[in-house]
Amino acid sequence: MENRLFVGNLSRTTTQEDLKALFAKVGTVVAVEMITISDPGHPKQIAFIDMEDQVEAQRAVGMLNGSDLHGRTMRVNIARPREKLPDGGGWYTDPPPPSRRRKGAAPRKPS
């Protein structure tokens, strides 16, 4: 879907309404989805914006990429398609390894 935009480097004070109003100046905004990425000490906020068509999406990239919003320089690009994650593996499908402790043994006391 080439009318979906990725918007990065957003301020934590930026809201969906702020983005919708800004991108509406360029074309018709179909949807805005904001995501907060928890990074200890440095939370990040990104957004995906669906525009009406590919022409409006390209125009938004040209006009808004590198522009300032709430003191931050936005990155606006055409969103890449989602990558398919590999099937299977991981803790959720494989049980955790058995404990090395003997059955019935009392836990060690901290020293």
**CA-to-CA distance for 35 and 47, rounded, in angstroms?**
6
Residue 24 vs residue 88, higher pLDDT: 24
C-alpha closest to that of 60 among 13, 9, 16, 2 = 2
Predicted pLDDT of residue 29: 96
The CATH class, in words, for 4-78 is alpha beta
pLDDT digits (tens, 9 = 90+) for 10-60: 998 999 999 999 999 999 999 999 998 887 777 789 999 999 999 999 999
The whole-model pTM stands at 0.71
